[in-house]
Structures are given as C-alpha cells and as structure tokens.
Amino acid sequence: MYLCFHILGTTTTTTTTTTTTTMVPLNLLVDPGAESSGLAGWTQTGSSAVLQDTGGLEYSGYNPHTGSACFAGGFGSGGSPSSLLQNVNLLNGIQNFSTAQLDAGTLHAKISFYYQTYYSWLYPYDDAEVIITFRSNTNAVLGTQGTGYQTCTSNNPGWCYYSNLYSLPVGTRSIDYKMIFTRNSGSKIGAYMDDNSLTLV
C-alpha cells in the first residue's frame, strides 16, 4: 500500500508491508528416517527384523533417500513379512490436540513416504506397505487404512514417492503407523522405506 502526501511541495511516500505466516503441520513420527540408533520409537512386529541400512547392506547401490540411513526389509531369516509399528498419541502428543479438535470431523491423517524395491530380472519385486489404525482412548479400533502393496518399478535402484489423505474418525486419540516389508522371492526382503511422515491436516 502506498500513501502519498504533498506538503509544501514535498512528496512523502509511506510503505506498508504485510507478512503472512504459513503453519506447517509437524511430523508426528519419531525417527521417521531410521536415523536413530536401534530404530528408536519403533517396535519390531514381523517374522523377521527390519534393518537400519546406511547403504548397500542388503544390495549394492540401494542407498538412503536422505540422511545417513533408511529402513530395509531385512535378511528374512525368520520369514516374511518384516514390520515396524509406532503408536502416535494425539491428545498429549507433540502438537497436543484438544478433544474438540480431534472430534470436529474436519481433520485428516496425511501419510507420505519414499520407497524402493530391489530389481532382478529373475525374480518378482518385493513390496513395501503402510497401514494406519485409528484408536480410541480405550485402544479400540475405529478404522484402518492401507496403501496396498507398493513396488517401485520406475527406478532401479531409486526411490518412488507415496502420499495420501484419510479422514480422521471421531473419537480418535492415537494412530498406529505400521511399515510392512513383504518378500515375494529370494531369501532377503528387498524393500526399503525412508522419510516417513504422519501429519494431521
């Protein structure tokens, strides 16, 4: 906005600047990119252990998307699938949502992650998948949503991106975020995930 005043032949210009602040939702996950020692914040829930891969642990050339590590499906010695689970408390979590906010019926859970899957012309791709479960204050299941099996066929090695929105059921107080790595051939579970994100928008 520009205002001009003429005073005794002198022109004075006043400039007003408007600043807009955009709120960016916080990622609610702990250690979303496998950077922490021991995969802090995650619970192993599969037949085999998910691994922290700093590059080429399972297959040469399959490296983290960002940072120094990513999640790898593992060597599969105990079978398939391997999986990691993290329960995210919404009411007393890092964003400290109120009951009124959670039950307004307007919020959505947004998930996103990067994934890659090992390629060999001899074998079919292994799969990466995320399932989220909405839970009440008594831990009752209010709903479940999943990405389905994801295979990254456009980049080998290289990363693909997944993102989706899911309506937050009224009464939700926590969300289970579960990564699943499924073997379809071979001995290792050649699926990888990195830079997971769970936000409420």
| Domain ranges within the chain, ordered by starting residue | 23-200
* 3-state secondary structure at position 93: coil
pLDDT digits (tens, 9 = 90+) for 130-178: 999 999 999 999 999 999 999 999 878 999 999 999 999 999 999 999 9
Cβ atoms < 10 Å from Cβ of 62: 23
pLDDT at residue 4, as a whole number: 47
Check pLDDT > 60 for residue 200.
Answer: yes
Q: Check: CB of residue 63 under 8 Å from CB of residue 55.
A: yes
pLDDT on residue 21: 44
Q: How many CB atoms lie within 10 A of CB 157?
A: 16
Q: Tell me, which fold does domain 23-200 have in CATH?
A: Jelly Rolls (2.60.120)
* Average pLDDT of the segment spanning 78-104: 92
Q: Which residue has the higher pLDDT, 112 or 21?
A: 112
Distance CA 152, CA 148 (A): 13
pLDDT in tens, 10-27: 555 555 555 444 457 899
Q: What is the pLDDT of residues 121-141, one digit of tens each?
A: 888 999 999 999 999 999 999
Phi, psi of 94 (to 5 degrees): -65, -25
pTM over 0.85: yes
Using CA atoms, how far residue 77 sits from 12, 25, 50, 56, 199, in Å, is 78, 39, 11, 18, 34
